[in-house]
Amino acid sequence: SRVVKLAVIPGDGIGPEVIAEALKVLDAATASSDVTIDTTHFSLGANRFLETGDVLTDADLDAIKAHDAILLGAVGGVPGDPRLVGANIERGLLLKLRFSLDHYVNLRPTVLFPGVASPLANPGDVDFVVVREGTEGPYVGNGGAIRQGTPHEVANEVSVNTAFGVERLVRHAFAVASARPRKKLTLVHKTNVLVFSGALWQRTVTAVAAEFPDVTVDYLHIDAATIFFVTDPARFDVIVTDNLFGDILTDLAAAISGGIGLAASGNINPSGQFPSMFEPIHGSAPDIAGKQLADPTAAILSVALLLAHLGLSAEADTVNTAVTADMAARTGEARSTATIGDAIAARI
């Protein structure tokens, strides 16, 4: 039988609550298969920082690297907590993992499941995937400030886009599009204003398109893309975009498809050199943490992405089918985090 070594990082706020349910479902989905999931828990995040002063040590990173995959809840302390000033858990933990483990593909599918209410009156058949760049753009931390705190302060935050980084991501997005029925790829950028990075992204898409003659290509500026997310989201199939645009678009995608509590993601290292990491798109939600109010579905769907990534497609299908049935049966009555996890696990 196959053993999968899974690093689990529950994190902060609602992270541990949704991960408890995700692990319940993972257990149920693998109970009768010949796969054994061997989990190691890593206590990382704001709480770990408050206890030890560490965010992510080299030893933590080495230990995580020795796993086949990572499941993460959410990280981030309570905004305004004076003890966390300067800690920057998001950059020091989450982004450090994505960058160190070369998670250049940030895969964020959006499906409006049958029975799920969208805030849009006529959403249509929403089924698209955002292929967000994960290791470059404005996230690289190539910034600085001078004369800080004075009226003459200058703060720079540089967006880094490399030919290597853009091309590998774009090629991956074309492959994703080519494997889907509609075979359509939309580049989203801001080429009218961000002329240097925009030219690199546009030129790369045009060049790689020649390798995928079956894929239809179009382009939208980021601002216009947000219009169509609300007026006609069914037009999208695969969207390829940079790290920051992809971050913003995928919270909007979650909102139109039933809410942030349903939105899953994978941070993928396609070469397999490092473990890929699966996590709900949402954060630690300090406003509802500790109250069993969080929807664990996003974390559970992230488990399905994880199983599929590991080649365990039967187990992934089991999870997706159970979630789909749970969604279709929702009555609008409020359920606790654990009640939703139990219901989905019971369907498996």
User: Would you please indicate which residues are annotated as catalytic (active-site) residues?
Assistant: 139, 190, 223, 247, 251
Report whether 207 contacts 244 (CB < 8 A).
Answer: no
76 vs 266, beta carbon nearer ligand NAD: 76
**Does the protein bind ligand NAD through residue 294 (CB under 6 A)?**
yes
Residue 248 burial (CB < 10 Å; 0-12/13-18/19+)? middle
Report whether 244 contacts 137 (CB < 8 A).
Answer: yes
Token readout for 137 is 């753009």
With contacts defined by CB under 6 A, name the span among 39-47, 50-58, 87-95, 309-317 that binds ligand IPM. 87-95
Query: Whole-number minimum distance, CB 150 to ligand NAD, in Å?
Result: 27
Work out which of 176, 205, 298, 301 binds ligand NAD, going by CB under 6 A. Answer: 298
245 vs 202: CA distance, rounded Å: 15
67 vs 98, beta carbon nearer ligand NAD: 98
* 24 interacts with, out of Mn ion, ligand NAD, ligand IPM, none, CB within 5 to 8 A per kind: none
DSSP string, 82-131: GGGTTT-HIIIIIIHHHHHTT--EEEEEEE--TTPPPSSSS--S-EEEEE
Report whether 239 contacts 188 (CB < 8 A).
Answer: yes
70 vs 74, beta carbon nearer ligand NAD: 74
**Does the protein bind ligand IPM through residue 95 (CB under 6 A)?**
yes
- Across the strands, what pairs with 37? 4
With contacts defined by CB under 6 A, name the span among 2-10, 51-59, 98-106, 287-295 that binds ligand NAD. 287-295
Query: Whole-number minimum distance, CB 248 to Mn ion, in Å?
Result: 8
Nearest to 118 by CA among 328, 263, 258: 258
* 95 interacts with, out of ligand NAD, Mn ion, ligand IPM, none, CB within 5 to 8 A per kind: ligand IPM
Query: Is position 255 annotated in a ligand binding site?
Result: no
Amino acid at 9: I
Work out which of 97, 111, 285, 310 binds ligand NAD, going by CB under 6 A. Answer: 285
CA 279 to chain centroid, in Å, comes to 6
CA 56 to chain centroid, in Å, comes to 20
Work out which of 21, 247, 295, 326 binds Mn ion, going by CB under 5 A. Answer: 247
Per-residue string for binding with ligand NAD, 71-100, x by CB under 6 A? Answer: ---xxx-------------x---x------
**Does the protein bind ligand IPM through residue 281 (CB under 6 A)?**
yes
Nearest to 31 by CA among 10, 71, 1, 54: 1
Query: Is position 258 annotated in a ligand binding site?
Result: no
Where along the sequence are the contacts to ligand IPM (CB under 6 A)? 90, 94-95, 247, 281, 283
Residues forming the annotated binding site for Mg(2+)?
A: 223, 247, 251
Residues forming the annotated binding site for NAD(+)?
A: 283-295
